[in-house]
Structure 1
Amino acid sequence: MTNAETPAPRTVVPIEPTLLIAEVFDQARVTQLRHSVTSCAHASGLSGQRLDDFVLAVNELITNAVRHGGGQGRLRLWCQDGELVCEVADHGHGISSQRLSDRNRPAPDTAGGWGLWLARELSDTMAVETGEAGTVVRITAAVD
């Protein structure tokens, strides 16, 4: 076969972006999962305060899933279009529309209610889908 007869290489476009992490977790896995997210986020281009903020936001989401979402959840982390994307899903009873629409900072002496607020404040974007079958929260951070 000569070079003229060699077929051109084909480019295969993945159906889904490459996942960095896809894991089911419970309370016992929270710390290890946070370390994995830190490593992957750093390798993907986050550093310094941006890295710390993103990891804290993810930690709040996974902690919420354990506390309020049935004791366990699923985390997926991937890079797409210059962003690091993290999605945390649980099987809880959903989040009230009042809670979701409240953008106010919780009172300093409040023991709970900080998770979603912090995740929203510490990420570039946050989207929430919630209902009786559970909640999915997706946050992003632009990577360099």
Structure 2
Amino acid sequence: MREDQTSPTVEVIGTEVLLTETFDHSSITALRHAVASRAREGGLAGDRLDDFVVAVNELLTNAVRHGGGLGRVALWRQDGDVVCEVSDSGAGLSGPRPTIRPATDQPGGWGLWLAEELTDTFRLETGNGGTTVRVSSRVSLSDS
């Protein structure tokens, strides 16, 4: 190696945008397929990919159903994770978010719980201006 060349000691950390889109009810199915494809490109595979897609689908559905009918999704790869953020401009959550598993016979209320259970990280911000949920799943060494 020449003197003016250095060997990197760590991998460069960066962000790779995989998808960003505004959506409504009519685009959820196509968007779910796009999320699956882009998350696979980002390095998720197998059960981790399936779980991530289910979690994001729950967030997309919640944004439309409870957040005013329109949402925004962004998907990116960062530091070995595939990250997804779903936002809406609804009135926000009306009360505290339940943190325990819903009753098995409960017809609704599963979306946020599932999204948290099926991903490695979960962050929710809500208020009068809407709700934003960010989830991520780690790309395992065997998946990358």
Query: Which residue of structure 2 aligns with residue 21 of structure 1?
Result: 19
Query: Which residue of structure 2 aligns with residue 133 of structure 1?
Result: 129
Q: Is the 8 A contact 2:15 2:79 kept in 1?
A: no
For these two proteins, the number of residue pairs brought into alignment is 129
Greater share of helix: 1
Query: Which residue of structure 2 aligns with residue 111 of structure 1?
Result: 107
Q: Which amino acid aligns with 2:77?
A: C
Mapping of 1:1-144 within 5 angstroms? 17-98=15-96, 100=97, 102-144=98-140
Q: Give the C-alpha shift of residue 18 in structure 1.
A: 2.9
Q: Is the 8 A contact 2:55 2:115 kept in 1?
A: yes
Distance in 2 of aligned mates of 1:64 and 1:47 = 25
The gaps in structure 2 that reach 5 residues or longer are 1-11
TM-score computed with the length of structure 1 as normaliser: 0.85
Q: Give the C-alpha shift of residue 97 in structure 1.
A: 4.4
The gaps in structure 1 that reach 5 residues or longer are 1-12
Q: Give the C-alpha shift of residue 112 in structure 1.
A: 0.6
TM-score computed with the length of structure 2 as normaliser: 0.85
- Following TM superposition, the consecutive aligned residue runs of length 4 or more in structure 1 with deviations greater than 4 angstroms are none
Deviation per residue, 1:92-118 (Å, 9 max, x gap)? 1111442x2x21111111111000000
Deviation per residue, 1:33-92 (Å, 9 max, x gap)? 000000011111111110100000000000000000000100000000111000000011
Q: Secondary structure at the match of 2:19?
A: strand
Q: Secondary structure at the match of 1:140?
A: strand
Q: Secondary structure at the match of 2:15?
A: coil
Identity, % of aligned positions: 58
